[in-house]
Structure 1
Amino acid sequence: MDGQAAPVVGLHSRFFWGLRLYLVCTPTAMPILWALANPKMDEREVLQAMLDIDADLVADRQGLLLISDKGFASKVFENDLAMRGIELLRPSFKREKRRKGKGLRLDRLGAAPRPRLRVRRPVPFRN
């Protein structure tokens, strides 16, 4: 290249060209369902499609509890899950009344508690 530096190509793009991975796991992080979907799709639609495709998984188990984030908030979505026999546990918004399970931590659901990391200062080497 006759002594000139090559142009630097940025790694960040304002466009997202890939797929989004969706996982449904047990409290011990064992994957149960998974899907790769278009990132423009609504995550509630993706989960409903996952449950439609593997309907036997839900039908064989009674009293399933689905823990999610605030992105799954929708009365229509919660009613659809209730029709399937699934209870949705998610954080409440500030404008909502307090939902069941507010402040619930994962280690209380049966997963092993996470060990606390202790940072030690390095001991200076002496002769």
Structure 2
Amino acid sequence: MDADLDILLIALYVELEDRIIPAHGTRRRGPGRPPTVTDAELVCLAVAQVLLRYNDEHHWLRAAASRVGHLFPRILRQSEYNERLKNAAPLMEAALRWLAERTPGSAEPLRLMDGTPIGCGQSKTTAQRSNLFGWAGYGYESAHSRYYWGAKLLLITTPDGTVTGFSLANPKLMGEREQTRQTLTSQPTNRPAAGSTVVTDKGLSGQGTEEFFTDLDLQLIRPARRDEKTPRPFPNWLRQRVEAIIWTLKNQLGLEHHNARVPAGLWTRIIQRLLALNAVIWHNWTIGAPTKRSLTAYDH
């Protein structure tokens, strides 16, 4: 197989119809006419939207017929597309985890962990009146020395970029340490296998955090703080790797241009982009592509 968008979408559609949807019991049942666009087609359309860099659903649905109409001749209206996409968020989450488990890189006992802000507004009026109030809050991004209003996305990935764990939190209500604890304990599917090594930044320093990772049978590797006298060897190239993964999500997959106005929409759009990344890496592994995180063959 070649690195081609059509082939990726066909492979993902087959995986959804034959394995993911039956395994998770998300196939539609009950009375009434079946939908003209199936859930598998809907998820593939959502992945194609992200890979082709259409951040706005309105522009995407106008262009979808010419871009992928030869694969999906039935295109939904915008209101129906938005509503069904929100309802399909559990299926997309199941799909991205399914693909992660079947990507060879996830078998490695090494994980990269880092958080990144997801901006949800720029003005004080937005922060006061937005439907995301309570879900989003004010946080500080030390990497760019700036405050933002939004949510904090915590990612756990393999070195090749496959997302194996994630969570979203209000940065004003939950700090990095607390979000990490919640991510690894409240949803076991986010937790790396026992004996794994987790590479993160110095924000997780502290005796309590070290003991928490030890109790989970995980080895924490982080850089030393300035006030620590004991040296801590740290692989800086792995920190650069996770930053490159976040850059891919933000600059190529439009993570910061989600246009979400309600909590369900924000969660859905984040899941949509994580699924697109995992689908590309899974497909690149399948076809033996040299660079597993390369999106070049799929964005046109």
TM-score tier after normalising by the smaller chain length:
0.5 to 0.7
Q: Distance in 2 between matches of 1:94 and 1:17?
A: 29
1:94 to 226, 242, 251: 226
SS at match of 1:93: coil
Residue 81, structure 1, aligned to residue 208, structure 2: no
How many residues are treated as equivalent by the alignment?
A: 98
Report SS of the residue matched to 1:85. coil
Output aligned runs, 1:14-33, within 5 Å.
16-33=148-165
The whole-number CA distance in structure 2 between the counterparts of 1:54 and 1:29 is 20
Return the letter of the residue paired with 1:70: K
Residues 29 and 37 of structure 1: CA distance in aligned 2, closer, same or farther (over 3 Å): same
Larger radius of gyration: 1
Uncovered stretches (5+) of structure 1, i.e. residues with no partner: 1-10, 114-127
Q: Which has the higher helix share?
A: 2
Within the candidate set 59, 66, 69, 2:198 is matched to 66
Rounded to whole Å, the distance in 1 between the matches of 2:215 and 2:162 is 25
Given the two structures, how large is their TM-score scaled by the length of structure 2? 0.29
Q: 1:30 is matched by which residue type in structure 2?
A: T
Deviation track 1:11-32 (CA, whole Å, cap 9, x = no partner) reads 8558543211111111111111
CA distance in 1, matches of 2:190, 2:175: 22
Unaligned runs of 5+ in 2: 1-120, 125-137, 139-147, 242-289, 292-300
**Contact 2:165 2:191 (8 Å CA) reproduced:** no
Listed as ranges, the matches of 1:33-52 within 5 Å are: 33-40=165-172, 41-52=174-185
Cross-structure match for 2:188: 55
**3-state DSSP of counterpart to 1:19:** strand
1:102 deviation in Å? 2.7
User: SS of the counterpart of 1:66?
Assistant: strand
Deviation at 1:106, TM superposition (A): 2.1
Q: Show the counterpart of 1:116.
A: none
Shift in Å at residue 39 of structure 1?
1.1
Give the superposition deviation at 1:58. Answer: 3.9
Shift of 1:103: 4.6
Q: 1 or 2 for the larger relative contact order (CA 8 Å, sep ≥6)?
A: 2
Q: CA RMSD in A?
A: 2.9
Q: Once the two structures are superposed, what CA deviation does each residue of 1:80-112 show, in whole Å capped at 9, x if it has no partner?
A: 11000011100001221101x3354229x9xx9
